[in-house]
Amino acid sequence: MSALTFTLKQRTDQRVDMSPLVCQKLSGMEPAEIAAIELQNGKSKVRVDSLFKISGSDSHNIQFKNSFGKLDFIGKDLTEGSIHVEGDVGAYLGMGMSAGAIDVFGNTDIYAACEMKGGQLVIDGNAGDFLGAAMVGNKQGMKGGVVIVKGSVGDRAGDHMRRGVMLIEGDTGDYCGSRMVAGTIAVLGKTGRFPGYMMSRGTLLLWTQPQLSASFNDCGAHTLAFLPILLNSFKKYNSRFAEVDTFNRVQRFGGDMAEKGLGEILVKI
């Protein structure tokens, strides 16, 4: 049984809500039923088969081809199966997903992995602002799962993050890990200004010296026994983090003291 594949025929001027096309919603549906699903396209609705050429039948494995940056909500609330995307995607990729896997071979717009609860999301390109963050007005961002970004990310990655692991191979924008409650963010590249801003708990693991706000305390150099265990846990992923040398010596910064001050930023020495 081949993967259920949606190949975009032509790009639209307006944004498209792709949230109906997830594995659990399409399970058991006939091809004609899938083709007749209506997607919100700006102020109007459009049938799936008018936008996409549909092939394959395995709804547990979905593929999107010729994707571009106005296809929003891909993988929203995913609970099972896998979604493979070739091309760029719009906003809210994997929003609220609790299980399954999403792979994107392209760049993503804002709020990828927004309020994610579980599963694995891999972005082969760059991610926009608010990766793994909370929606506007909410205070609970990413709550579980694993996010891997092989490029760079925008501002406020991990904003309000509560649990889970975020691995960023490239650089980050400003305020990475802002208002973080728990979880782990690891960054191989450079961080923008004020990582960990207003974080109350959680861990930022960095390979380059950050530009911190004045409300972080320099706790000096530490040998931490848990770090090799944490780094070895990254080796199971298809990522540059699987190739990094194991270490246990870091410079530790505690903060944000303007908040609870129980968070930590660990910088490889």
Provide the pLDDT for residue 45: 96
Beta strands 146-149; 165-168: pairing state? parallel
CA torsion, ordered 31, 84, 108, 19, to nearest 10 deg: 30
DSSP assigned state of 135? P
Q: Please answer whether residues 131 and 150 qualify as being in contact, where contact means their C-beta atoms are separated by less than 8 angstroms.
A: no
Q: Please answer whether residues 253 and 216 qualify as being in contact, where contact means their C-beta atoms are separated by less than 8 angstroms.
A: yes
Provide block-wise average pLDDT over 10 residues at a time, the chain (269 residues).
94 97 95 96 96 96 98 98 98 98 98 98 98 94 98 98 98 98 98 97 97 95 96 96 95 95 96
Provide the pLDDT for residue 152: 98
Alpha carbon distances (Å) from 145 to 197, 200, 219? 23, 20, 30
- Residue the block writes with tokens 């010729």: 66
Paired tokens of 129:
């602002």
- Report the distance separating Cα 37 and Cα 55, nearest Å: 15
In a 13 Å sphere around the CA of 37, the CA atoms on its Cβ side amount to: 22
Spell out the alpha helix ranges (H) of the chain: 23-26, 31-35, 48-51, 226-233
Q: Is 122 helix (H, G, I), strand (E, B) or coil?
A: strand
Q: Write down the pTM of the prediction.
A: 0.95
Q: Can you give the residue ranges of every domain in the chain?
A: 110-268
Provide the pLDDT for residue 196: 97
| Chain segment 130-184, per-residue pLDDT in tens | 999 999 999 999 999 999 999 999 999 999 999 999 999 999 999 999 999 999 9
